[in-house]
Amino acid sequence: MSLFHKAAFLRSAAASLDVPASSGEIAFAGRSNAGKSSAINALAGGRIAIVSKTPGRTRLVNFYALGADRFLVDLPGYGYAKTAGATLASWEDFLGDYLRTRAPLRGLALVMDVRHPLTRLDLMLLGWFSPTGKPVHVLLTKADKLSRAAAQKVLRRVEGEITAFAPNFSVQLFSSLKKSGLEEAEKVFGGWLGFAQAPATQGPAMSTPGRDQGSRNKNPRAIRGNQPGANALRFKAPRSGRRSGRRPKSPIA
Ligand code: GDP
């Protein structure tokens, strides 16, 4: 059972961020079409997030509950080519305060297509977020689209560039299609949410990252910051009493 398999759709917030009470959440951001929805689905083990067929369509913030009070927060994609300027301005208006000031936000999952990493907009987002001091973990998605050697080369380059922003930024290869990189991502995100402290009876020990070769951040401070539960236990989230049962609304615009 995956760490996030019990994720349940809770609500969408559209015009303003009508955010639920939360004791911990991870925001997922990335360029439109980078593979963010697919990554959330892969982590959740099912198609709970909206997988858009049209780049730039998703403009809602979707909250996926992990138990009663912890969430994966799916932010709208940014940078759809035809509207890049307008999208970025409205994206920052809409989400800048949330990213900078939201106390329960434990960290940012930044999703990038491994073939198009660190675009100008990704770098701007990292620039906005880094003053919070909170960690960023980059998922280089669609790793299946590159050869192993080419993917590793991108991984090394991105690692070098993002750790220049902050020592607690980290990066890994990921493929929603091949389900590769899941264990490493679960370990990082589960650690952020405090699931590493789950009682031993809740599941077997997480495996070491060996199977998902690809995580790169050799800075010891970064590793401590992102993996507080090096011997983390796999978390089984309790069933949420707040599950709404509603389906995600259609994305607007
Ligand atoms: P989002 O706009 O960032 O949420 O992107 P989506 O998750 O909707 O994915 C955009 C497109 O990329 C879809 O056609 C997905 O099927 C495809 N895609 C997403 N992740 C992967 C992956 O890991 N490998 C491959 N080959 N395709 C992917």
Q: pLDDT for 177-188, tens place per residue?
A: 999 999 999 999
Quick check: CB of 38 below 6 Å from ligand 1? Answer: yes
> Which of 109-123, 127-141, 200-214 shows the lowest per-residue confidence on average (mean pLDDT)?
200-214
Tell me the range of 5-9, 64-68, 78-82, 201-205 where mean pLDDT is highest: 64-68
Tell me the range of 21-25, 97-101, 145-149, 220-224 where mean pLDDT is highest: 145-149
Q: Round the average pLDDT of the chain to a whole number and report it.
A: 71
Quick check: CB of 62 below 6 Å from ligand 1? Answer: no
Look up the pTM and report it. Answer: 0.74
Q: What is the DSSP string of 34-94?
A: SSHHHHHHHHHTSS-S---SSTT---SEEEEEETTTEEEEEPPPB--GGGHHHHHHHHHHH
How far is ligand 1, taken at its centre, from the CA of residue 29, in Å? 14
User: In one letter, which amino acid is 144?
Assistant: D
Quick check: CB of 32 below 6 Å from ligand 1? Answer: yes
Q: What is the pLDDT of residues 210-235, one digit of tens each?
A: 333 344 443 333 323 233 222 222 22
Nearest CA to ligand 1 atom 9: 35
Domains in the chain (CATH in brackets) are 8-13+22-226 (3.40.50.300)
Cα separation, 127 vs 171, in Å, equals 16
Quick check: CB of 226 below 6 Å from ligand 1? Answer: no
> Which of 8-22, 72-86, 157-171, 189-203 shows the lowest per-residue confidence on average (mean pLDDT)?
8-22
